C-alpha cells in the first residue's frame, strides 16, 4: 500500500513538476548555451568600460559618459539574452523550439521567431557597443574635443616655473633689474590659488645652466615654464614673456610689452593675468587686485628695492650690508613703500648670521629689523612677506607665541611663499615643537626644492627633533645642492657624532673646517675632544680658536666644558638674541647643561620654558 501510494504520488501528482515548463526552460538555457552568451557579453562589456576609463581623460569625455556606457550595456543585456533564447536558427531552431503549450504562449507564428534570431542577437550586442562609439565620437567632435579643457577639469596640472628673464640691455649692471622683474612676477604667480610655483632659489638655479626646458621642468616637477627677456633703455622697458608647455615645447602664450618704467606694475599684472587665464586659474576680485601690488609710484625707489633684493639673495656679509643700504634708500625715497621696509627688516634680521668670529650685537640689529617689519605691516596689512618678516623678528626678541601667529598669517596671505614656511618651521623647531615643524619644512621644500637654505633648515628640524636618520639623509641632500657650503657639513658632523658614527663624523667635520677656512689641526683636536667625552664621560679640552660663538657653545658643551659653554651662552642672552639662545638650547646643549643653576637662570631670563 505504501509503495503503491508513493508510486501514485510520484507518477500522477508530480509529473507536471518533473517534466513541467520550469525544467524544460532550464534545459533550453543549457541547450542554447545562454551561459556562454552571458559570459561573452560580460567580458566584452568589461572591455568596453575599461577602454572608456582609459581613454576618457585623453578624449576629454564628460563625467557622465562612463555611467551612460554602463547603463546602455545593462539595457543591452536582456535584449541579447532574449534574442539568443528564442532565436529561430534554421534546423537547430526547429529542433530546439521551446514548447510552452502548457503556459498558453504561442511563439511559433507571426514575426517573433523572425525577430529573435542568433544573427539579431549578435547585431544587438554590436549595436550596444556601436552606440557608445557614436556618443563618444559625437562628444569629441562637437562637445569637449580632444585636448580641450575646462576650469572644472581636475586633470589640468597647474604648476609653472618662472625662469630668470634674460638681460638684453647689454649692460651687466642692469642684471639686478631683469632678475628683479623675474622675482616680482614669480611672487605674483605664487599668490594664485591652486597654482604651484617653485621659489626663487629653485628657478634661479638654472640661470645660464644650459639645460632644456623639459630637463628643468622635470627637475622642478612642473608642467609649464615661463621665460622671457628684459631690455632697459633709459626710462623705457621692453619685456617679452612666453608660457611654454614643458612636455611638448608648445608656446601656449607669448607677448611683448614696450612701456615706460612707470607702467612696470601694469606689465607684471598683465603677464600674471594672462598666465592665470592660460592655466585656467580663476581669480576673485580681491585676488585680482592683490596679484601685483603697486608698492610705489617712485621709479627710483622701485629700482633701489630691486637692487636690495638682488644683493639680499647673494647671502654674504658684504651683500647683506649693501642690501640694507639699498632698502634704506628706497624707504627714504618713499616712506610708504611696504615691500622695501620688509626687505630692510629681512636684511637686519639675518645680517648677524654672517658674523663668525665675535659675538654680534644682536639686540641692535633685531630691534631695527623688528621696527621695519612693524612699519611694513602697518602700511600693507595684506602683504604676506611683511608678516613673515615680523614673525621672524618677534622670534628674535623672544615673543614666541606672536612670532608663530604672524608666520601663520603670512602663509595665509601668500600660500606660495616658501620663506614663510621655512621661517615657521625654524621657529617651531627651535622652540620645542619640532614635530609640528616637519610639515611646514616639507612644504617649503616642495615650493623651493633647490634652495640650499630651505634644505638645511629641513635637516635641522629633524636634528632638533632627535630624528637623526632623517636629519643625516636631509643634510646629505643639502650638501648635494651646495657641496662647498660649510653649514650643512657642521650639522652633519654633529648628527653623526650623536649617532656614534665617529669616523664619518670626523670626515664631515674636516670638510666643514676646510670650507669655513678654519685651522684643520685645531678642528681635528676639537672633534676628537668631543668624541672622547662621549666615550669616557671625562672632559677634554681643545685649543682656543676663531669660531661662530653659537658653534663654540655646542663644542664646549659636547666636550665636557660647561663653564666655557655657559659663559658664551650668557653673552648670547645678554646680547638680546633670545631666539638664537632658544635654538641653541633646543639642540643637545640643553640636555648637557640643563642641571647647571647658572644655565637655568639664563633660560628664565630669555623666556625659554621648553
- Using alpha carbons only, give the angle 421, 426, 432 rounded to the nearest 5 degrees: 125
Residues 495-513 as b or e (16 or more Cβ within 10 Å = b) = bbbbeebbeebbbbbbbbb
Residues 6+ apart with CB under 8 A from 360: 352, 575, 577
Question: Are both 249 and 319 inside the same structural domain?
Answer: no
pLDDT value at residue 75? 73
Residues 6+ apart with CB under 8 A from 369: 344, 345, 346, 347, 348, 349, 389, 393, 396
Long-range contacts from 128-133, C-beta under 8 angstroms, 24+ separation: 128/72, 128/73, 128/75, 128/76, 128/79, 128/80, 129/44, 129/48, 131/72, 132/48, 132/52, 132/68, 132/69, 132/72, 132/73
Per the domain annotation, does 561 fall within a domain? no
CA 405 to chain centre: 22
The confidence score (pLDDT) of residue 192 equals 78
Q: Which three cell numbers stand for residue 9?
A: 504520488
Task: Answer whether residue 247 is part of any domain.
Answer: yes
CATH code: domain of residue 345:
1.25.40.10
Q: What is the pLDDT of residue 275?
A: 86
Number of folded domains in the chain?
A: 3
Task: Tell me what pLDDT residue 138 has.
Answer: 54
β-pairing verdict for 160-162 and 224-233: parallel
All three cell numbers of 481, joined, read: 645642492
CB neighbour class for 411 (10 Å; exposed up to 12, middle 13-18, buried from 19): buried
Is residue 257 in a domain?
Answer: yes
3-state class percentages of the chain: helix first, strand second, coil last, to nearest 5 = 65, 5, 30
pTM: 0.70
Q: Report helix angle 338-350 to 299-312, nearest 10.
A: 30
pLDDT at 49: 74
Are residues 271 and 196 part of one domain? yes
What pLDDT was estimated at residue 38? Answer: 74
534 domain residue, yes or no: no
pLDDT of residue 390: 98
Domain boundary among 367, 389, 415: 415
**Is 196 in the same domain as 238?**
yes
Same domain, 311 and 270: no
Which among 145, 159, 416 is positioned nearest to 278, based on CA atoms?
159
Instruction: Name 295's Cβ contacts closer than 8 Å, sequence gap at least 6.
Output: 302, 305, 337, 338, 339, 340, 380
- 492 class by beta-carbon count within 10 Å (0-12 exposed, 13-18 middle, 19+ buried): buried
Q: Do residues 123 and 174 share a domain? A: no
* CA dist., res. 528 & res. 514, Å (int): 17
**380 vs 209: CA distance, rounded Å:** 37
Which residue range forms the structural domain that includes residue 407? 295-415
Q: Residues 334, 410: one domain?
A: yes
Q: Please tell me whether residues 100 and 205 are part of one structural domain.
A: no
- pLDDT, block means (10 residues), the chain with 610 residues: 44 49 65 69 75 58 66 74 58 39 39 48 57 54 44 56 89 86 87 83 82 89 92 87 90 89 84 84 60 78 94 89 97 96 96 75 92 97 95 96 97 92 97 96 93 95 96 97 95 97 97 94 96 95 84 94 95 93 91 94 96
Residue 496 counted as domain residue: no
Q: Please indicate, yes or no, if residue 604 is contained in any of the structural domains.
A: no
Contact 403, 391 (CB under 8 A): yes
Domain shared by 197 and 313, yes or no: no
Residues 269 and 313 in one domain: no
Question: Are 111 and 215 in a shared domain?
Answer: no
- Within a domain: residue 499? no
Q: Are residues 316 and 378 in the same domain?
A: yes
168 shares a domain with 132 = no
548, part of any domain: no
Residue 528 pLDDT: 97
Other beta carbons within 10 angstroms of residue 570's beta carbon come to 16
Amino acid at each position: 500500500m505504501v509503495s503503491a501510494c508513493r508510486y501514485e504520488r510520484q507518477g500522477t501528482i508530480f509529473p507536471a513538476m518533473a517534466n513541467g515548463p520550469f525544467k524544460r526552460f532550464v534545459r533550453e538555457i543549457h541547450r542554447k548555451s545562454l551561459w556562454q552568451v552571458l559570459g561573452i557579453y560580460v567580458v566584452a562589456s568589461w572591455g568596453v568600460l575599461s577602454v572608456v576609463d582609459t581613454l576618457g581623460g585623453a578624449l576629454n569625455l564628460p563625467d557622465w559618459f562612463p555611467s551612460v556606457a554602463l547603463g546602455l550595456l545593462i539595457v543591452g543585456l536582456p535584449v541579447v539574452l532574449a534574442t539568443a533564447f528564442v532565436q529561430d536558427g534554421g534546423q537547430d531552431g526547429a529542433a530546439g523550439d521551446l514548447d510552452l503549450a502548457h503556459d498558453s504562449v504561442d511563439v511559433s507564428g507571426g514575426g517573433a521567431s523572425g525577430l529573435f534570431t542568433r544573427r539579431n542577437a549578435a547585431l544587438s550586442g554590436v549595436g550596444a557597443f556601436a552606440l557608445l562609439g557614436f556618443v563618444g565620437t559625437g562628444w569629441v567632435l562637437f562637445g569637449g574635443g580632444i585636448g580641450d579643457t575646462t576650469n572644472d577639469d581636475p586633470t589640468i596640472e597647474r604648476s609653472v616655473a618662472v625662469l630668470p628673464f634674460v638681460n638684453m640691455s647689454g649692460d651687466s649692471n642692469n642684471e639686478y633689474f631683469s632678475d628683479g622683474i623675474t622675482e616680482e612676477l614669480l611672487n605674483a604667480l605664487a599668490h594664485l590659488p591652486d597654482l604651484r610655483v617653485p621659489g626663487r632659489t629653485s628657478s634661479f638655479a638654472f640661470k645660464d645652466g644650459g639645460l632644456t626646458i623639459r630637463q628643468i621642468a622635470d627637475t622642478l616637477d612642473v608642467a609649464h615654464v615661463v621665460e622671457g627677456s628684459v631690455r632697459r633703455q633709459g626710462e623705457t622697458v621692453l619685456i617679452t614673456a612666453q608660457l611654454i608647455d614643458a612636455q611638448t615645447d608648445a608656446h601656449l602664450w607669448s607677448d611683448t610689452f614696450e612701456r615706460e618704467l612707470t607702467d612696470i606694475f601694469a606689465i607684471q599684472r598683465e603677464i600674471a593675468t594672462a598666465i592665470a587665464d592660460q592655466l585656467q586659474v580663476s581669480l576673485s576680485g580681491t585676488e585680482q587686485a592683490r596679484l601685483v601690488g603697486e608698492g610705489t609710484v617712485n621709479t627710483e625707489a622701485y629700482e633701489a628695492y630691486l637692487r636690495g633684493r638682488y644683493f639680499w639673495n647673494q647671502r654674504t656679509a658684504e651683500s647683506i650690508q649693501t642690501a640694507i643700504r639699498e632698502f634704506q634708500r628706497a624707504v627714504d625715497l618713499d616712506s610708504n613703500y611696504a615691500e622695501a621696509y620688509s626687505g630692510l627688516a629681512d636684511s637686519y634680521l639675518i645680517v648677524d648670521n654672517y658674523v663668525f668670529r665675535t659675538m654680534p650685537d644682536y639686540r641692535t640689529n633685531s630691534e631695527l629689523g623688528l621696527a621695519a617689519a612693524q612699519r611694513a605691516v602697518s602700511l600693507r596689512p595684506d602683504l604676506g612677506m611683511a608678516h613673515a618678516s615680523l614673525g621672524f623678528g618677534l622670534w628674535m626678541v623672544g615673543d614666541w607665541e606672536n612670532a608663530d601667529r604672524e608666520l601663520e598669517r603670512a602663509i595665509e596671505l601668500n600660500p606660495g611663499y616658501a620663506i614663510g614656511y621655512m621661517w615657521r618651521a625654524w621657529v617651531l623647531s627651535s622652540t620645542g615643537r619640532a614635530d609640528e615643524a616637519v610639515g611646514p619644512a616639507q612644504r617649503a621644500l616642495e615650493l623651493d626644492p633647490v634652495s640650499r637654505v630651505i634644505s638645511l633648515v629641513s635637516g635641522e628640524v629633524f636634528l632638533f627633533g632627535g630624528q637623526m636618520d632623517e636629519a643625516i639623509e636631509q643634510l646629505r641632500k643639502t650638501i648635494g645642492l651646495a657641496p662647498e657650503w660649510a653649514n650643512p657639513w657642521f650639522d652633519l658632523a654633529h648628527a653623526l657624532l650623536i649617532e656614534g658614527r665617529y669616523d664619518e663624523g670626523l670626515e664631515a667635520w674636516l670638510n666643514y673646517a676646510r670650507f669655513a677656512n678654519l685651522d684643520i689641526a685645531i678642528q681635528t683636536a676639537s672633534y676628537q675632544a668631543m668624541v672622547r667625552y662621549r666615550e669616557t664621560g671625562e672632559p677634554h679640552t681643545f685649543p682656543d680658536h676663531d669660531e661662530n660663538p653659537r658653534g663654540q657653545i655646542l663644542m664646549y658643551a659636547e666636550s665636557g666644558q660647561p663653564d666655557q659653554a655657559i659663559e658664551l651662552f650668557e653673552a648670547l642672552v645678554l646680547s638680546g638674541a633670545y631666539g638664537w639662545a632658544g635654538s641653541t638650547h633646543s639642540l643637545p646643549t640643553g640636555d648637557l647643561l640643563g642641571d647647571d643653576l647658572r644655565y637655568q637662570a639664563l633660560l628664565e631670563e630669555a623666556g625659554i620654558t621648553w
